[in-house]
Structure 1
Amino acid sequence: MSKKDNGLKSERILDVAEELFAMHGFDGVTMRQISSGANVDVALASYHFGKKLDVFYAVFNRRAELLGNTRREVLRSSLQAASGEPQTLEQIIEAFLLPLKFAQESGDPGWKNYMALLAYVMTSPVWSKTLMENNFDKHVAEFIKALKVIFPKSKEEDLHWCYHYVSGALALTLAQTGRIDRLSGGKCHSSDFETAYQRMIPFMAAGFRAVCEK
């Protein structure tokens, strides 16, 4: 088997695993399901990645670095684009909500699966500490620093609580549970990231101002 074929099979295994983990979580997926979906032998999937835990890490980390770094770059570029003018709260929130834009603008359907997986990890006490700490948490200080410029008189704990609320809203939206579809009688769709993105920015900005401008 050529290196190219090996690479394609590895990506197919990760794509299938990403979709299954996003839908069923870590405990609800087996290596046999992953290999069957990728149309490869279980032995080949194990050869490429090892145990199911290794596959889970590989799936999560595959897009995490790109997403985390791009999010930080967007935050910094909006600061530079201000040309001496203060960076706006809305610009900071836009950078934080980058996952929604990634999912809606990318031609890769795997991004929506990854966003649901990200929501699963964000809301898990176990996986959040293991995976979020190593991939995303290290960038949070930069967002808090930017928020301090907007709200210089705010208590730091207020900024962190607001950031926490924003993270929760983002996680629920990324999870695409379909609940808003049912509650709204079909008027809203959990897969409609574009509409969610547009509404979340003013909603979150109002929340920050209500708490942090006291």
Structure 2
Amino acid sequence: MKEKMATSLTRKRPGRPKSAAPAPPAGERRTRAEQRAATVKQILDISEDLFAQLGYFGVTIKDVADRMGIHAALIHYYFDGKQSLFDAVFERRVEYAVTVRTAGLDAYEAEAGDHPTVEGALRAYYDGAFDVYINGDEGWRNFGRIFSQVNNAPGYGAEKMDTYFDPLVLRLIRILQKALPDALPEDLFWCFQFTSGAYSLILSRTGRIDRLSDNLCASDDFAAVRERFVTFMAAGLEAVYRSHLKG
């Protein structure tokens, strides 16, 4: 019965957006599995765009359904409420983001061995992450805004960071501790917090830096950010380290 309901609710309606999945070539019919996959992808794509623009609390299931030109019941057929939908949007891309950072740290530890540097460690953690947004499509940039929301959202998002990123962050801290054996552990954690906050602001793409700089800088210019980010953060971390050595 659910399959029958899903089929009836996905029939073509006026006002369907251009982002809708394309119809198969004449003479070809998609299987039910293919239809289901296409529908779920469209729901996730549109939800991702809306969550990126309006945030978790600014979007309803009805908003997604209206954008798609379908009945909200179809979305409830696939997802058990808004939290389930948001989780699916986030989880669709986060595993790749984790994979990229893991690969960066793996390669750097193999190369640096027992002699890592602060800049090398931070570059291993952040450079590949920026590359995802430089080389990815608008969907990835939407995910960046959602990542930023989650990273700053106690209550509905912070536990996702605990699950997906805490093991990577602790690994980064261990590499930094190896690079600066005399550093206070709390300094390393605070400095990571500063880098994480700056990274989240960058992914938000608020447009503020565009206005402040009279368009000398663009908030979606991830290549320009990548060129400067780690150099700035590494210098700050090392300055904190030196200040406590003197004290």
User: TM-score when scaled to structure 1?
Assistant: 0.93
SS in 2 for 1:125: coil
CA distance in structure 1 between the partners assigned to 2:172 and 2:65 by the alignment: 40
CA distance in structure 1 between the partners assigned to 2:141 and 2:147 by the alignment: 10
Residue 47 of structure 1 corresponds to 77
TM-aligned CA deviation for residue 143 of structure 1: 0.6
CA RMSD, 1 decimal? 1.5
Is it true that 1:16 corresponds to 2:46 in the alignment?
yes
Equivalent AA in structure 2 for residue 154 of structure 1: A
User: Which one of the candidate residues 116, 123, 133 is aligned to 2:152?
Assistant: 123
Cα deviation, 1:20-79, whole Å, max 9, x if unaligned, reads 111111110011111232343311111111201110111111111221132022111111
Q: Sort the Cα spacing of 1:211 and 1:5 in 2 relative to 1 into closer, same or farther, 3 A.
A: same
Over 3 Å off, 4+ runs: none
TM-aligned CA deviation for residue 85 of structure 1: 6.3
Is it true that 1:56 corresponds to 2:86 in the alignment?
yes
CA distance in structure 2 between the partners assigned to 1:123 and 1:87 by the alignment: 30
Identity %: 34
Residue 93 of structure 1 corresponds to 122
Equivalent AA in structure 1 for residue 222 of structure 2: F
User: Which one of the candidate residues 173, 192, 199 is aligned to 1:144?
Assistant: 173
Residue 102 of structure 1 corresponds to 132
Residue 66 of structure 1 corresponds to 96
Equivalent AA in structure 2 for residue 69 of structure 1: T
CA distance in structure 2 between the partners assigned to 1:207 and 1:161 by the alignment: 11
Higher gyration radius (CA): 2
Residue 170 of structure 1 corresponds to 199
User: Which one of the candidate residues 64, 68, 80 is aligned to 1:34?
Assistant: 64
Equivalent AA in structure 2 for residue 188 of structure 1: C
Cα deviation, 1:154-211, whole Å, max 9, x if unaligned, reads 0000000000000010000010011101111111110001101111111011011101
Q: Sort the Cα spacing of 1:149 and 1:111 in 2 relative to 1 into closer, same or farther, 3 A.
A: same
Q: Structure 1 residues 63-72 or 50-59, which shifts more?
A: 63-72
